[in-house]
Structure 1
């Protein structure tokens, strides 16, 4: 795994460097300045397989870097790293297209486990994207009253309109919920199914992704992802 870590905290970078060096096949580049990190990414985009991005950086902050990366690369895994711990900050980071959100301080072993799980999912996503150039793109493996999903090319439609700017994780959540209408999924079930198992992070990660997914879907029609209070979420078109 070829890693780019843009982090201005030297102690954090040094700690992760020691752990990365112990992993066979892992190579990491550490950059402390946001603008310098962005320029390095532009020059080495094809080789970078994982980005660890601090939210607060000198030169160019992590929010802008994440936004700019997602404009030209939808698949490269991005983990946002920050000292902030409010749900609004998680929503902000995930809404920009980050795949995961980790707050400081963190356990390096747990952090690397999340990196491995995210990397595995990203490799599968790339394979699906490459194989998704099918002759007939109108084939949908999930069709409901309002939603149509083509899992091969990872496109979701609200009636005839493409739901734009879905992150890989948002697509996976919609795909899972829509394939089981009215079935209630707990946060724990979603985490163990779509994240790594066991999951070492905060269950609020699910809420943050659901919130952004709902916001994007509401641009096209009525809300189809319902909250089952005290339990979890379900996809339900009843009465719509």
Structure 2
């Protein structure tokens, strides 16, 4: 590929796709933090020892960031954060997608696309420095291994000046919200489709259907605590609510 094509876009910038779902508060916070500092000139880039991901050995000869690669790094860090899944630690985007949206993809005169600028940045800098970890697949067309899945490491967030406590705090809030939603879902022990079916049954059949739903919904220990009288009371409440619901209609 001609040299002029390699630096076709000397000032790449991440442009997120339009009509994408809204990102979480943590992702928005992380992207803002990354934009406030120059990740390509972080002191970590000079103090960390580059490690060969295949052998685990220190790389004595290591290609540091020139200005073109520094520009590429600034763009791709934002893109990786944008597609980051905090639960799996996975960047949910391919290298080609990252390259395209950061303006790092290049094209030869014959129209062939190359994502070398992005893949080399990952293979030759971000991974050896410990900012990302990759799982690879064999690319038979070029007899080489390319990253298939990219995972962000704790060092990546240090690079962006994001503390571990901030990540843990977000995860804690997310877990509490999840538990709250589960409790809310638990209150709906009869599905809407079942409600429609029950409404068309005679009273005794409807009560039996509600009873079966309650038995499937509660655990054995919970049913013991509720007791026969409590169970009957719940059936009465649900049946009366059902009658009121369909009477209004």
The structure with more radius of gyration: 2
Q: Is TM > 0.5 for Structure 1 vs Structure 2?
A: no
Q: TM-score, normalised by structure 1?
A: 0.26
Of structures 1 and 2, the one with the larger relative CO (CA 8 A, separation 6+) is: 2
TM-score (normalizing by structure 2): 0.26
The structure with the greater share of residues assigned to strand is 1
Q: Which has the higher helix share?
A: 2
